Amino acid sequence: MLRSYWSAHRDVIRWLAVSGAILTGSVVLYAMGVSVGSGMGYHEAQSDGYAAQYPSDTDKRVSECFANSDLSRAKECAQSAIEASRESQRSEGDLSAQRDMSEWAFWLLGLTAVQSLLGFGGFVALVITIRQGRDANAISRNVAAADLRPYLFIDRLRLIDAVDQNVEPTDENSGEEVPGFLFSKIEIYLKNFGKVPARNIRVVKKEFYGRIYAGRFFRYNLSHVTIGVCAPGHERRVFGHLMIPGKERADFDNGGLHYLIRLRFTFEDEAGTTFTEKAAYSFSGDDLETFYLLGDLNIAAARKRRDEIEFDFSDDGEIEQ
């Protein structure tokens, strides 16, 4: 979720991060300058105040030296007082400098902490960017692999070499012929819509007849066909056979009986990767030009529905309660 959010708002987040870093750095530098400047002024003023007191204190101590001692001792006492005053002034200057350094050290520590946080945020952004780069590369590889593979599909089906036999009517008073035996080949075209050849094509073809809505299926025929190679944009053919006896011709022409064919074919690319496709079609005599694509025709489910319908009806045709 974090990765997808970053992808959607990457530019905004980067702009906010840069702006926040600049604003934070500016605030920290301004606060550091104000604090250090005010601290230095305060410390200098305090040092100047103490320094102003040192001459008067020194004069007082020198006067006391000459008031209570002889001349030699008074001279030593005065020198000691002057040296003490100078030492106090040096100590005060050192203390002021130490205070200024402590202020600088405090704000440098704060600035270092802010820089560390910004550096950590930059590192996290870098890690996320690297991961996104890897994901983008993986997507590119998948797209390239999907583009450079064979796509073999059934393009069309059609009847060829049809033999439609009409028979004499059973009613002598009728002059019209009635449909009889129907036989035809079914031409199935497999076309490679990909950019690389499809190799080692194996087709499993299952033909049968059925009354779909009644759940009745019969006359199964299973066959296997092997095709070598189908180049990009080219077609390969397999064949089926339609055979309708005269006694079933009326149901077939009226759409009650269907010819059904299931196809399952596998093929490989140049690397030997195997792909599988499935398709199923129905065809009846009410439209001899169209093969209808079926969905998932579940024969067992159709038979179960037939059994349930037959069970719901009694012998007299009434629905059982």
Domain containing residue 186: CATH number: 2.60.40.10
Place of tokens 């094509």: 201
Annotate 103-172 with DSSP letters as a single string. HHHHHHHHHHHHHHHHHHHHHHHHHHHHHHHHHHHHHHHHHHHHHSS--EEEEEEEEEEEEEEEE--SST
Domains in the chain: how many in total?
2
Q: pLDDT at residue 116 above 50? A: yes
Residues 105 and 130 reside in one and the same domain? yes
pLDDT grade, residue 46 (50/70/90)?
A: low
The answer to whether residue 320 is domain-embedded is no
**Given 108, 124, 147, which residue is the final one in a domain?**
147
The answer to whether residue 242 is domain-embedded is yes
Q: pLDDT at residue 278 above 60? A: yes
Q: Which of the residue ranges 30-39, 203-212, 229-238 would you say has the lowest mean pLDDT?
A: 30-39
- The DSSP code for 321 is -
pLDDT grade, residue 317 (50/70/90)?
A: very low
Residues 107 and 189 reside in one and the same domain? no
pLDDT tens for each residue of 127-149:
888 888 888 888 888 887 778 89
Q: Which residues, 6 or more positions from 287, have their beta carbon under 8 angstroms from its beta carbon?
A: none
pLDDT tens for each residue of 54-81:
555 655 665 666 565 565 666 666 666 6
What average pLDDT does the structure give for the chain?
76
Residues 254 and 140 reside in one and the same domain? no
**Given 114, 147, 180, which residue is the final one in a domain?**
147
Residues 92 and 157 reside in one and the same domain? no
Residues 161 and 209 reside in one and the same domain? yes
Q: CA quadruple 59, 60, 61, 65: dihedral positive or negative?
A: positive
Q: What percent of the chain has pLDDT over 90?
A: 25
Q: Which two tokens stand for residue 3?
A: 């990765």
Residues 7 and 57 reside in one and the same domain? yes
pLDDT at 318: 41
Residues 62 and 134 reside in one and the same domain? yes
Residues 247 and 128 reside in one and the same domain? no
Contact 125, 3 (CB under 8 A): no
Contact 185, 247 (CB under 8 A): no
- pTM of the prediction? 0.55
Residues 102 and 48 reside in one and the same domain? yes
Distance CA 85, CA 36 (A): 28
pLDDT tens for each residue of 259-274:
999 999 999 998 899 9
